[in-house]
């Protein structure tokens, strides 16, 4: 099951009943990797950490959808606007929301690309 997880969206699609199995596969994989690393020398320190980013990714998806809906409404208002002051105000707001959309899309890209690498493993070896 672990091999089928590529980004946070894949995790959200898993039924809750499958999460214990996934957690077990992750534990087994980490133990296997750490065992192989341990064969290189004496391990004097070991630490494993992980961060669940699926909630942050989901929040970003919701914010992005809301911002795109707002952007569309502002574009419609701008198309109907006849007043120059209103047009300038709408243009400024569209520019601001476009920058926000770019920022959220960038964060989502980062989270997708680093979903697998969020966890870290540290072992120190001294010969």
Across the range 15-42, mean pLDDT stands at: 78
Q: What pLDDT does 19 receive?
A: 78
Count CB neighbours of 104 within 10 A: 20
For the ranges 18-22, 71-75, 78-82, 99-103, the lowest mean pLDDT is seen at 18-22
Q: What pLDDT does 125 receive?
A: 53
Taking alpha carbons only, the member of 123, 119, 126, 122 closest to residue 5 is 119
Residue whose entry in the numeric block shows the structure tokens 């989502």:
108
pLDDT band with cut points at 50, 70 and 90 for residue 46: low
Residues 55-76 have pLDDT tens digits of 888 899 999 999 999 999 999 9
Q: Would you call 49 helix, strand, or coil by DSSP?
A: strand
* CA–CA gap between residue 27 and residue 12 (Å, rounded): 19
Q: Domain extents for the chain?
A: 2-125
């Amino acid at each position: 099951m672990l091999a089928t997880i590529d980004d946070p969206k894949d995790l959200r699609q898993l039924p809750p009943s499958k999460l214990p199995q996934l957690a077990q596969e992750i534990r087994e994989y980490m133990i296997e990797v750490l065992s192989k690393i341990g064969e290189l020398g004496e391990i004097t320190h070991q630490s494993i950490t992980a961060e669940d980013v699926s909630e942050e990714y989901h929040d970003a998806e919701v914010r992005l959808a809301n911002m795109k809906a707002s952007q569309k409404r502002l574009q419609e208002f701008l198309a109907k606007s006849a007043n120059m002051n209103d047009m300038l105000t709408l243009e400024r707001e569209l520019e601001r929301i476009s920058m926000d959309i770019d920022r959220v899309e960038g964060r989502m890209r980062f989270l997708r690309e680093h979903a697998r690498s969020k966890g870290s493993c540290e072992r120190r070896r001294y010969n």
